[in-house]
Structure 1
């Protein structure tokens, strides 16, 4: 066995766990996005006052649902809520 043969054989052995890990991460990310999408749909069942309590509006739900299926709409909702909170805090500082 030459050094080249050994190096080729070693790279195949070490790449298998990496491929398996990528597949496992992809499946896990898809499952997490599916689970969060189900929770997102439960937000649609809330009343407008309940949504306002958590810093969202019904229009925010319509904006966030436009992400592709494999993506997580709750990430978009969080960014909307954070932007709104920062805007409200900035306005409160200007008034005070």
Structure 2
């Protein structure tokens, strides 16, 4: 045997952990996607329930009927409650900005 051994080989055992890790990561990604889609579907049903509320009740939680129509038009995989939260936050910021200008 010489000081420089040019033989290098990859044993199948050294390749398997990397492959297993990639398969596990892919399975987790699919599971996360399924969980996000299920949550979006469940939240969409809850938004439909908001449609049964009166305009005064919607105003109490910072929404309008038009906001509901906007999120109803969104794609199925999009979580409507996140959209409603952004709409409500934007409206609150706009009101606060107006209040600062007046005061």
Q: TM-score, normalised by structure 2?
A: 0.84
Q: Which residue number in structure 2 is paired with residue 25 of structure 1?
A: 32
Equivalent in the alignment of 2:49: 42
Please state how far the C-alpha of 1:65 moved relative to its aligned partner: 1.3
Aligned pair partner of 1:75 in 57, 70, 82: 82
| Deviation digits for residues 35-91 of structure 1 (CA, Å, limit 9, x no counterpart) | 111111111000000000011111111111111001111111111111111111111
The number of residues matched between the two structures is: 96
Distance 1:33 1:10 in 2: 34
Q: CA RMSD in A?
A: 1.7
Structure 1: 5+ residue stretches without partners: none
Partner of 2:18: 11
Separation (CA, whole Å) in 1 of partners of 2:55 and 2:89: 18
Higher Rg of the two aligned structures = 2
**1:13-56: CA deviations, max 9, x gaps?**
22121111011101111111111111111110000000000111
Q: CA deviation at 1:11?
A: 2.2
Aligned to 2:96: 89
Q: Give the number of the structure whose residues are more often helix, by fraction.
A: 1
Gaps of 5+ in 2: 1-7
